[in-house]
Structure 1
Amino acid sequence: MNGMRTYSKKKGGVMSNRLVSLCYVAFALLCLASCSNLKYLPEGEHLYVKGEVEINSDTIPERYIGPLSEGLEALLRPKPNTTILGMRPQLYLYNIAGEPKSDRGFRNWLKNKVGQPPVLLSDVNREYNENVLRNRLENLGFFHAQVASDTTIDNRKATVTYTATPHIIYRIKSVTFDVDSSDLGKAIKSAASGSLLQVGRPYNLDNIIAERERIDNELKNKGYYYFNPDHLIVEVDSVAGDHQVDLYVMVKNETPARAKRPYYINNIYIYPNYTLTQRGYQRADPTDGNVYQGYHFIDPEHTFRRFALTNAMILRQGELYTRERHNRTIRQLVGMGSFRFVRNEFVDVDSAGKTTNKLDAYYYLTPMPKHGLRIELLGKTAAVYNGSEINVNWQHRNAFRSAELLTFTVYGGFETQTGGNVNLNSSFYRYGIEASLSFPRMIAPFDWKPTRRFVPRTVFTAGYEFLNRRTAYSLNSMRFSFGYMWRENTEKEHDLKVLEIAYVQPWNITDAYQALMDTVPPLRHAIEPQFTFGPIYNYTRTNTARTDLKHTFYFKGGLDLSANLYGLIRGANVREGRQYQIFNANFSQYIKSEVDFRHYMKLGTNATLASRAMAGLGYSYGNSTQLPYVKQFFSGGPNGIRAFRARTLGPGSYTPEFYGENNFFADQTGDIKIELNTEYRARLNSIVHWAAFVDAGNVWLQNSDPEKPGAAFSSNFVNEMAVGAGLGLRFDFTFLILRGDLAMPLRIPYRPKGERWLFDEINFRSPDWRRNNLVFNLAIGYPF
């Protein structure tokens, strides 16, 4: 425990004081916002604070009443003023702003941009809301629903309660596709097997609308370009009685003739350099432009190589029009990343003055600016460490006229210790350069097309970085990689680096750091020369984009290999004295695997339970005894176990050491990692969210190290898990999420057995306890 407290005093005291000050300010602001808004109400008016719906039914199962009530309440208008912890700060700001003297200035901004005008009871049209609720219930199959309302007033605050009596729901008795024997009728009838309208299910207008759109999509993929859902009608007959209805799917009599026949693709025209300043779409004559593989190119300036664009075209001349090929073509062109706008249109082909069942396709592609420059200036703060970083990114789109993306990035930054006792790791600066060339296609010695739905990419990357810890050491790092990225579908993504090479060499090691390495050998691992080479593969699968699901997930699994075949050929075995070098560095031989699984469960419209399980395993052999420093795992920090600072936890039950009053080295890494997190997230208002979380985990070494007792992984690993918990606030500004988490350790693995749980030591009233145990993390985005 003494080790942790010493660490916290050095790195947590300033932040804890700042946190306490921020809490006082926040508390004062909340108290200010909680002041009564009622005194600002006009005479005789009441503040509308809530609209609620109560379901009065003995025919609806209990588990459906809550969701039905929530869905109906979402339809009520107007919405009450936004609340935070029961208070209405935006309404308060609107009130205290008074009447602005002009439509400019701070007072006007505060009142009309930040504040909210009061929502009064007189603004509520109860009859309108009753009709809306009744109509919604009928659309859900409650044909004879009744809705009544009542108002409750307490201290000038009004609540309107709507009581809905749905009665018995109507169900589908039969579904008949009442169509003729034409080609269109046969196409509609063939789509009946996948109908959303099923006998026995409740009548639902939403399902009827979705069924019309489903049939339309089926027809679009059979060439019926001009057909649309409005050409279908679903008649409902409730004569059957017994709360049942018969449904009849029919084509409207007024459906135009061209909507009843399939269409084929005639000529395809591509304008690769179309500008929005052009007046209208200049259609070309079939004999104009260059014809390549059946496509007509109108590109006098030859801005793009034609093969690059034809590779993206799924729609082909002479084929039946289908929406699937149409959408895939658009998606491929957009996915190339070279065009700001992709527009297309289909035009009827006339023959001898008569319209045929053929379409000419026109694609108008507006390129992005060829060159782009972006400069980013970042500020960073963590505990007593502060720094800044600048990134200059230059891009050349369409570098070789085939939609390639050439990128050069130059960056530099520094970090310095502004509080606590200065140590050898107290400050550093770094700078580097990276070049990347991305091709929107697979470049391989054989024909390989893993997907046609999305644009695959071939990526070459090379970079150099110089890191200078001025009072300790410097590192030169070089890296190169070549590989592929592709999406299998909307949920599955692959990233294969066929070869990644990384080379790290130390330079200018100071006498002070050298003296510490002689005393503490594990410190040498951070600056050992490193050479890794081999393939890396990552697979990602997620359905988190689905907003209609209660349960969603994210999975990422990776495999990192280095020098496996080369080490085998050389017969490397460091334990037997056979260790080999490449460019004056012992090459690393290992297998590293990592998995990250996340699960999200909706607990209503405003709450989610998010959980994560991570595991990483590095197995070093042959030429190595442990993973290289840059490949090892670490724990703690704002995206890990938040009750511990980054790289300060583990490995195993090893106790972090303090090498002198001014030389604490916090970096603790391992070859094996296990981490579990769970977090309850709830929305307070449109931008403010809160969370309660528990984190657990640690890192371990693959092999025992006499310099780090207790660091090796064993069957006793569960007893070496660290546990932390805390609360957080998140501010969702759409373009970024600002997150602040306050955590405390509940279990410390390097304390003596039997003393690792800290529940009996928690004392929020004690300043020393708060200073030594509360850890504040400020970050961008969610932790997982």
Structure 2
Amino acid sequence: MRKISTKIAAFILIATLISACNAEKRVPDGKQLLTKNQITVNGKATKEENIFNQLYQKPNSTLLLGYRLRLNLYNLANLNPDSTYQAKFTNNPGKYERKSKWLSAKQVDRLGKSFWYHGIHDFLKTTGEPPVTIEKEKTDKSILRLKYYYFNNGFFDVEANNEIDTLSIKRAIVKYAINTGSGYLLDTIKTSISTAVLDSLYETIRPNSVIKSGKQYRTVDFEDEKNRIATHFRNNGVYFFQPTYVNFDIDTINKKNKADVNLIINDYSYQEKDSTRTEPFKIYKISDVNIYTDYSPNNTSLKITDSTTYKNFNFYSHEKLKYKPHAITDAIFITKGGLFADNKTVLTTRYLNNLKIFNYPSIQYEIDSRDTTSTSLIAKIYLTPRKKYSFGTSLDVTHSNIQDIGIALSISETIRNVFNGAETLEISARGNIGSSKDLANPNNQFFNVSEYGLDLKLNFPRIFMPFSTEKIIKKSMIPSTLMAVGFARQQNIGLDKENFTGSFSYNWTPMKNTTARFDLFNVQFVRNLNPKNYFNVYGSSYDALNAIGKIYNTESTYFDNDTKKNLIIESGTSGFINDVLSLRTDLLPSDAFYADVKSIEERRVRLTENDFILATNFTFTKTTKTDLLDNTFYLFKTKIESAGSLLSLISNTTNQSVNENGKYELFNLEYSEYIKTEFDYIKHWDLTKEKVFAVRTFFGIAIPFGNSDNVPFSRSYFSGGSNDNRAWQPYSLGPGSSGATNDFNEANMKIALSSEFRFKILGDLKGALFADAGNIWNVYDNVVDEKSTFTGFKSLKDIALGTGFGLRYDLNFFVLRFDFGFKTYNPANETGEKWFREYNFAHSVLNFGINYPF
């Protein structure tokens, strides 16, 4: 506790020293520090971000509560460290000679470039921010930009001015006053389209025009209308059309706050030798689609030696054609006899690139000289094959809710066009060593987790079925089929596992920004290699059983010695459990301790038995995120999974016998049967100035039935950890208000809600304030503990709340994250002790993570 107090005191001292810096220290004489911008529009103050973004000058950035950290850091820097260093010797010439004898003249000179004399000041200058002083030239530019902003929004008579409100000799506020006048509304809208065919095309989309009578003028609407018209024309055969051909004549003469609009599209003009010619636009059709399957800039002079035609597509190759034609034509949406269309060009490029057997394709069009009407285009698609074989390696440092740190090495071999149908086969091997303080570790080894595995993935760029699915899943949805098998062996100073997996899945994109995945089957066989180590791993279960054994065990061979009387793992624990359940001790089924032993044994059997899961699932994802820098988006993901039902149907139909537990078996193993569904929603709001507010909600439930009384451990839920409720360690929260009595607490229903406010501190160092709520419960399974089960809305009182703060460092390719979580509401505590009783550093949880939690 003393160390924590010292750290807090040091932090307060540093903060006090920094805050004591004079913000005006670097403000030149005759200049004033810009402390604030104020804008009034028609006499009313505004905080609208778009308006403030028009200003050329903005005050120095602030941290929380308006503190200008970066300005104060800049003020701490020595702007001329070289001069300061040399001044030490100028004022004391003998000092340089003495140091030169001790170090050498060269080393003394280099000392002036060291971190303490020079580097620290460079860091402060780079990380810090020079004072923003008021400049008349920039305030004048701001006035012009404000006028343009309102003019572009329909206020043609806008007036703007500014004044400087002096706070002190070196501090001032700039006040901008804007009088917009009345906005101009669009009145009569006419069209003057010279080419008749374009006039007809425009009429089909005219009702959806962005430019409408009665709407206020906005420049951006006219740009949008230009692009809308050009897109429509170019998707309907008008090859030479560009947005620049769309012009607007806006007439405000003799109009009061109204404007007439004339949409003008002149004929096509082009340069022919030294003169400019004009003619009506034409609609172009595709006369041929030529595909060059082994194009390279280096082989353009080589002769075509192989060619074929398939469904009106012409294939050309310098060598023997290596691809089945349908594999490529399935990815091409440009068709012979069809109209030229930009969207088909984009879709074709996207699909061909998605095959992953070619470099980014090139599609070019040229006028077909065979057509005397000059209304035909030849589409030429140039494909450059990637190497058939490619070898890859990767070395990663990983972190998960179980593994504190891990080092993973993977190697892979990719084979392209395996069966000449654009298929790709990936063979990969991986190995991982890691460290986890949460696992039983009797030898105190740092690297106490290891895993190795082998995976094979075969991808088909189509729906692999014996019948056509084109009417259901069109090829524009970029469908693919993935077959995968894998094996992994894990050693974690625990039960150790072998994991065999296999899947057959279909993937497609129903529409933009959405993805769908259907696993026709997903099989998993988990084999526990070291089940006798159970009570070494699950120490809390052993402690509970051992306490009962000291009272009721009468078999001396189960004890380690006659003094401590601890049950021996494995012989003593299994022997005592068998004696209790066989009624060979004084415990009776009506006794509470008997129920405890039975519960411990049921959990041991469940977590040590091998699992066989044959599931079918469907996953749907929709997001509005455009790229990694997009901070205003949402993501919705839902999944439904059914396991074991097909096997039960077959068992019932074929009259298979059940085992002593009344369950069906496959390969002498009770297979799992359950239904599971999940809903995940993430939303981000960009609050500007590198401030982001993010929320996440999650709900998941897995209900066992038929051949199962519970859900397999690998399909259950847990709570806590760096990507969940950060005030609790992984698996240490719940179920319900039970108080996490087991070592690895899990259940079959989960609710999680998280929110986070992210902000910039300085440079690439970011901060966050967060709140995480949620818990796990047992529902519709064989758990009877009331504290652990969900019994209705009253169980929502067991939702735990953790709050805290975090630091993140952005390394561009990933983000290092440190989060301090504090237990704000702990449902496991007694009534009256739930709120803020553990809200201190002693009970806080430090989470290390890679990238943001959501």
Distance 1:704 1:143 in 2: 70
Q: Verify the 8 A CA contact 2:806 2:819 in the aligned structure 1.
A: yes
Are the structure 2 counterparts of residues 667 and 277 from structure 1 closer, same or farther at C-alpha, using a change threshold of 3 Å?
Answer: farther
Distance 2:241 2:303 in 1: 27
Distance 1:277 1:17 in 2: 68
Q: Structure 2: which amino acid aligns with 1:343? A: S
Q: Verify the 8 A CA contact 1:378 1:390 in the aligned structure 2.
A: no
Q: 1:125 aligns with which of 127, 133, 138?
A: 138
Q: Summarize the alignment of residues 418-429 of structure 1 with structure 2, pairs less than 5 Å apart.
A: 427-429=448-450
Are the structure 2 counterparts of residues 247 and 684 from structure 1 closer, same or farther at C-alpha, using a change threshold of 3 Å?
Answer: farther
Deviation at 1:323, TM superposition (A): 1.8
Q: 1:54 aligns with which of 25, 40, 58?
A: 40
Q: Verify the 8 A CA contact 2:285 2:377 in the aligned structure 1.
A: yes
Aligned match of 1:340: 359
Aligned match of 1:590: 674
Q: 1:165 aligns with which of 166, 175, 179?
A: 179
Q: Summarize the alignment of residues 692-703 of structure 1 with structure 2, pairs less than 5 Å apart.
A: 692-703=769-780
Q: Structure 2: which amino acid aligns with 1:737? A: V
Q: Structure 2: which amino acid aligns with 1:143? A: F
Q: 1:360 aligns with which of 369, 378, 391?
A: 378
Distance 2:444 2:478 in 1: 44
* SS of residue paired to 2:482: strand
Deviation at 1:336, TM superposition (A): 1.8
Distance 2:610 2:513 in 1: 39
Q: Verify the 8 A CA contact 1:530 1:587 in the aligned structure 2.
A: yes
Q: Verify the 8 A CA contact 1:573 1:622 in the aligned structure 2.
A: no
Aligned match of 2:68: 87
1:294 equivalent in alignment to 2:312: yes
Are the structure 2 counterparts of residues 210 and 158 from structure 1 closer, same or farther at C-alpha, using a change threshold of 3 Å?
Answer: same
Q: Verify the 8 A CA contact 2:399 2:850 in the aligned structure 1.
A: no
Comparing 627-636 with 34-43, greater Cα deviation is found at 34-43
Distance 1:24 1:586 in 2: 60
**Cα RMSD (Å):** 3.9
1:777 equivalent in alignment to 2:847: yes
Distance 1:130 1:35 in 2: 33
Distance 1:268 1:30 in 2: 72
Distance 1:365 1:115 in 2: 50
Deviation at 1:43, TM superposition (A): 5.0
Q: Structure 1: which amino acid aligns with 2:729? A: R
Distance 2:203 2:132 in 1: 52
Are the structure 2 counterparts of residues 377 and 493 from structure 1 closer, same or farther at C-alpha, using a change threshold of 3 Å?
Answer: closer
Q: Verify the 8 A CA contact 1:655 1:750 in the aligned structure 2.
A: yes
Q: 2:243 aligns with which of 219, 222, 229?
A: 229
Deviation at 1:27, TM superposition (A): 7.8
- 1:358-416 CA-to-partner distances (Å, cap 9, x unmatched) read 11222223344441403123154879944433333333333344332322222222333
* SS of residue paired to 1:315: coil
Q: 1:747 aligns with which of 812, 820, 825?
A: 825
Are the structure 2 counterparts of residues 29 and 262 from structure 1 closer, same or farther at C-alpha, using a change threshold of 3 Å?
Answer: farther
Distance 1:158 1:383 in 2: 54
Are the structure 2 counterparts of residues 404 and 158 from structure 1 closer, same or farther at C-alpha, using a change threshold of 3 Å?
Answer: farther
- 1:65-89 CA-to-partner distances (Å, cap 9, x unmatched) read 543xx21321332565554443353
Distance 1:202 1:735 in 2: 44
Distance 1:648 1:552 in 2: 32
Aligned match of 2:483: 460
Deviation at 1:40, TM superposition (A): 4.2
Aligned match of 1:265: 286
Aligned match of 2:797: 719
Q: Structure 1: which amino acid aligns with 2:56? A: R
Q: Verify the 8 A CA contact 1:453 1:489 in the aligned structure 2.
A: no
* SS of residue paired to 2:369: strand
Deviation at 1:179, TM superposition (A): 2.8
* SS of residue paired to 1:218: helix
* SS of residue paired to 2:348: helix
1:208 equivalent in alignment to 2:285: no
1:554 equivalent in alignment to 2:635: yes
Deviation at 1:128, TM superposition (A): 2.4
- 1:651-703 CA-to-partner distances (Å, cap 9, x unmatched) read 2222333xxxxxxx531111122222333445556755443333222212235
- 1:165-216 CA-to-partner distances (Å, cap 9, x unmatched) read 2111111112112335711222223321110011221101110111111111
- 1:300-338 CA-to-partner distances (Å, cap 9, x unmatched) read 233543321111000011211122222211121122233
Q: 2:709 aligns with which of 613, 620, 625?
A: 625
Q: Verify the 8 A CA contact 1:78 1:124 in the aligned structure 2.
A: no
User: How many corresponding residue pairs?
Assistant: 742
- 1:251-290 CA-to-partner distances (Å, cap 9, x unmatched) read 1367454671111112222233333556xx77999x9843
Aligned match of 2:526: 504
Q: Verify the 8 A CA contact 1:263 1:359 in the aligned structure 2.
A: yes
Deviation at 1:487, TM superposition (A): 0.6
1:672 equivalent in alignment to 2:672: no
Among the aligned pairs, what percent are the same residue? 23
- Structure 1-normalised TM-score? 0.84
Distance 1:506 1:360 in 2: 62
Distance 1:53 1:340 in 2: 52
Deviation at 1:646, TM superposition (A): 1.3
Q: 1:691 aligns with which of 768, 772, 793?
A: 768
Are the structure 2 counterparts of residues 757 and 419 from structure 1 closer, same or farther at C-alpha, using a change threshold of 3 Å?
Answer: closer
- Structure 2-normalised TM-score? 0.78
- 1:541-584 CA-to-partner distances (Å, cap 9, x unmatched) read 23344999998532221111112132244258989832233233
Q: Verify the 8 A CA contact 1:55 1:163 in the aligned structure 2.
A: yes
Q: Verify the 8 A CA contact 2:63 2:760 in the aligned structure 1.
A: no
Distance 1:96 1:399 in 2: 64
Comparing 643-652 with 367-376, greater Cα deviation is found at 367-376
Are the structure 2 counterparts of residues 620 and 24 from structure 1 closer, same or farther at C-alpha, using a change threshold of 3 Å?
Answer: farther
- 1:12-69 CA-to-partner distances (Å, cap 9, x unmatched) read x9xx9799969957984895598446444555445556555432357xxx9xx543xx
* SS of residue paired to 1:652: coil
Deviation at 1:150, TM superposition (A): 2.6
Distance 2:697 2:443 in 1: 35
Q: Which runs of no fewer than 5 residues in structure 1 stay unpaired? A: 1-12, 658-664, 764-768
Larger radius of gyration: 2
Q: Structure 1: which amino acid aligns with 2:204? A: S
Are the structure 2 counterparts of residues 420 and 550 from structure 1 closer, same or farther at C-alpha, using a change threshold of 3 Å?
Answer: closer
Aligned match of 2:190: 176
Aligned match of 1:10: none
Deviation at 1:228, TM superposition (A): 0.9
Q: Structure 1: which amino acid aligns with 2:395? A: E
Q: Which runs of no fewer than 5 residues in structure 2 stay unpaired? A: 84-109, 271-277, 537-568, 578-596
Are the structure 2 counterparts of residues 374 and 574 from structure 1 closer, same or farther at C-alpha, using a change threshold of 3 Å?
Answer: same
Distance 1:397 1:34 in 2: 64
1:567 equivalent in alignment to 2:648: yes
Distance 1:368 1:27 in 2: 60
Q: 2:156 aligns with which of 115, 131, 143?
A: 143
Comparing 119-128 with 185-194, greater Cα deviation is found at 119-128
Are the structure 2 counterparts of residues 619 and 599 from structure 1 closer, same or farther at C-alpha, using a change threshold of 3 Å?
Answer: same
- 1:490-536 CA-to-partner distances (Å, cap 9, x unmatched) read 13211111011111111234465454675632244322110011212
Aligned match of 1:4: none
- 1:731-777 CA-to-partner distances (Å, cap 9, x unmatched) read 4454323333222122222233x235223x366xxxxx4212x1222
Are the structure 2 counterparts of residues 215 and 157 from structure 1 closer, same or farther at C-alpha, using a change threshold of 3 Å?
Answer: same
Q: Verify the 8 A CA contact 1:226 1:258 in the aligned structure 2.
A: no
Aligned match of 1:660: none
Q: Summarize the alignment of residues 356-755 of structure 1 with structure 2, pairs less than 5 Å apart.
A: 356-370=374-388, 371-380=390-399, 385-417=404-436, 427-449=448-470, 450-470=473-493, 472-510=494-532, 513=536, 515=570, 518=577, 520-521=600-601, 522-545=603-626, 552-571=633-652, 577-601=661-685, 607-657=691-741, 666-682=743-759, 687-703=764-780, 710-715=787-792, 716-752=794-830, 754-755=831-832
Distance 1:585 1:26 in 2: 62
